[in-house]
A and B are shown apart, each in its own frame.
Chain A
Amino acid sequence: MKINGLLMDDQDNVVTCVAEIRKGDQVVYLKDGKEETLEAKEDIPFCHKIALVDLPQDGEVVKYGELLGKTRETIEKGHWVSDRNIFSVPRDYELEFVKE
């Protein structure tokens, strides 16, 4: 099957769709060099993200192995993850300084 999703890091819980996805389509992506598939439960626009697992409300959304933000509501597996249902978390800079 043709790859239409990209998993950026093994830790990620979202996949970026690199084609227009219709509800019911299979999203195909590579993990550890092996093809994996996931059924889209709603339409996902080109370049947008789909949830790989059920994400609880206030749960962390991870891409590139890093935190993108948290969920405003529960996002079920196969659903569209976007600016409508996730938000950016303020940084705690004090914890990031190192000793000089």
Chain B
Amino acid sequence: MEFWGYKRKEGRAGLRNHVLILPTCACGSESARIVASQVRGAVNIVFNTGCSDVAANTAMSQKVLTGFACNPNVYGVVIIGLGCETVPHLELKAKIQKMTSKPVVSFGIQDEGGTLKTIEKAVRAAREMAAEAALQQKELCDISNLLLGIECGGSDATSGIASNPAVGELSDLLVDLGASTIMSESIEWIGAEHVLAKRAATPHIHNQIIQICKDYEAHLLAAGQDCRAGQPTPGNKAGGLSTLDEKSLGCIRKGGTRPIVEVLEQAERPSCQGAIVMDTAGYDISSVTSMVAGGCNAVIFTTGRGTPTGNAIVPVIKVTGNERTYQKMEDNIDVDVSAIVRGEKTFKECGKDMLQVI
């Protein structure tokens, strides 16, 4: 199986060919947004920190920023920094250039003499880059280039019954064809971690999955918090999910049934092909961010109650098994699998249908 994509010198092919306007800190975020709004083919991300942060947070945000730059859907990068951020823009540029041969340019607001001058220069640079990007032709790429992030948000009881099993079937089909998938949100493994761990390809991976859940609960406990207080969310409860365990048992079904070949840290790039899991926050926006930084070139997203979550860098395909939600939020949702709930279709049939959507 093949798809039309943008081949890259290193790594997977892209499904998109964006020029990414990348701020190094919160001070550059608004300028980045303005630059992207002026250039067809450019997208920006919002970065709300980058200054006065503890070392571990800085390391993680650098991993995410460089991960975005290296994402296969990005043609080139225009960095907008301030000048006195924790990791200066020229340093971030050098880091990215070590990881990829893509075009990268960078501007510092203090050096350029303010935001207006920076925006003007960055817009010109981004337009030039977007013009180069527009000359790149799509080519047929093998399905092994696809790294699909699997996400859920705004879950209700239809998620575990319909959309998650259907997406799980899709993941199995893709993995069998040679593509790779990543499921994340480790807090939503708790209560079902013993079921998920059964899919581990090795005893080591089995224990990694259990350890992540154990460490997460211990981490929260050390701060005097309980993971069962915020989960399920009020919306989940109203949607019939009574405990974290019930939510998790439904959640993990979206990852399918194939052996788990690798366990990744947040925003880490996979080193093997197949069904993969990533240890991320149980908050869909943060989790999608982590998977995109890890190199996912598309995301499939199941919902029960409906969510508008998208991403600047990758297409996010929304699936629901709740027919009321589909009718109410049709503009935000791509695939309706409520036929499973009505007993008209099986989750396997719906999973197969979605292969064409991908």
Given A81-B242, A96-B197, A97-B207, A3 contacting B343 (CB threshold 8 A)? yes
Given A47-B239, A69-B246, A86-B242, A91 contacting B207 (CB threshold 8 A)? no
**In this assembly, does B334 line the interface, its C-beta being within 8 Å of a C-beta of chain A?**
no
Q: State the Cβ distance, B338 to closest chain A Cβ, in Å.
A: 9
Chain A residues in 8 Å Cβ range of B241: 83
Chain A residues in 8 Å Cβ range of B250: 64
Q: Which residue of A lies closest to B244 (CB)?
A: A88
* Residue contact A67 to B161, C-beta cutoff 8 Å: no
**In this assembly, does B138 line the interface, its C-beta being within 8 Å of a C-beta of chain A?**
no
* Residue contact A93 to B207, C-beta cutoff 8 Å: no
**In this assembly, does B169 line the interface, its C-beta being within 8 Å of a C-beta of chain A?**
no
* Residue contact B203 to A100, C-beta cutoff 8 Å: yes
- Tell me the total A-B contact number using a CB cutoff of 8 A: 98
Given A3-B343, A16-B157, A83-B232, A96 contacting B242 (CB threshold 8 A)? no
Report the interface size class on chain A: 20 to 34
The answer for the CA separation of A57 and B210 in the assembled complex, in Å, is: 29
**Interface of chain B, helix or strand or loop or mixed?**
helix
Chain A residues in 8 Å Cβ range of B193: 91, 93, 96
* Residue contact A48 to B240, C-beta cutoff 8 Å: yes
Chain A residues in 8 Å Cβ range of B202: 100
The answer for the CA separation of A74 and B243 in the assembled complex, in Å, is: 17
* Residue contact A91 to B217, C-beta cutoff 8 Å: yes
Q: State the Cβ distance, A9 to closest chain B Cβ, in Å.
A: 10
**In this assembly, does A68 line the interface, its C-beta being within 8 Å of a C-beta of chain B?**
yes
Given A66-B249, A88-B228, A47 contacting B243 (CB threshold 8 A)? no
Chain B residues in 8 Å Cβ range of A11: none
Contacting residues of chain B (149-206) with chain A, CB-CB under 8 angstroms: 156-158, 160-161, 190-195, 197, 202-204, 206
Q: State the Cβ distance, A22 to closest chain B Cβ, in Å.
A: 17
Given A63-B246, A88-B245, A91-B190, A49 contacting B240 (CB threshold 8 A)? yes
Chain A residues in 8 Å Cβ range of B213: 91, 93
* Residue contact A98 to B245, C-beta cutoff 8 Å: no
* Residue contact A83 to B341, C-beta cutoff 8 Å: no
Q: Which residue of A lies closest to B231 (CB)?
A: A88
Q: Which residue of A lies closest to B341 (CB)?
A: A18
* Residue contact B243 to A83, C-beta cutoff 8 Å: yes
**In this assembly, does B95 line the interface, its C-beta being within 8 Å of a C-beta of chain A?**
no
Q: Which residue of B lies closest to A88 (CB)?
A: B243
Chain A residues in 8 Å Cβ range of B239: 47
**In this assembly, does A45 line the interface, its C-beta being within 8 Å of a C-beta of chain B?**
yes
* Residue contact A98 to B240, C-beta cutoff 8 Å: no
Chain A residues in 8 Å Cβ range of B245: 66-69, 88-89
The answer for the CA separation of A33 and B130 in the assembled complex, in Å, is: 58
**Which 8 pairs of residues, A with B, have the shortest CB-CB distance?**
A47-B240, A47-B157, A88-B243, A93-B214, A69-B243, A48-B240, A83-B242, A68-B246
* Sample (25) of A-B pairs whose CB atoms are under 8 Å apart: A3-B343, A6-B161, A16-B157, A45-B240, A47-B239, A47-B304, A47-B322, A48-B157, A49-B157, A49-B242, A66-B245, A67-B191, A68-B243, A82-B237, A83-B237, A83-B241, A88-B245, A91-B193, A91-B217, A93-B217, A96-B197, A97-B206, A98-B197, A99-B203, A100-B207
B→A interface (CB under 8 Å): 156-158, 160-161, 190-195, 197, 202-204, 206-207, 210-211, 213-214, 217, 228, 232, 237-246, 249-250, 304, 322, 324, 341-343
Given A88-B191, A93-B211, 16 additional A-B pairs, CB 8 A: A6-B161, A8-B160, A8-B161, A18-B158, A47-B156, A49-B157, A61-B242, A83-B243, A86-B242, A91-B190, A91-B217, A93-B214, A93-B217, A97-B211, A98-B206, A100-B207
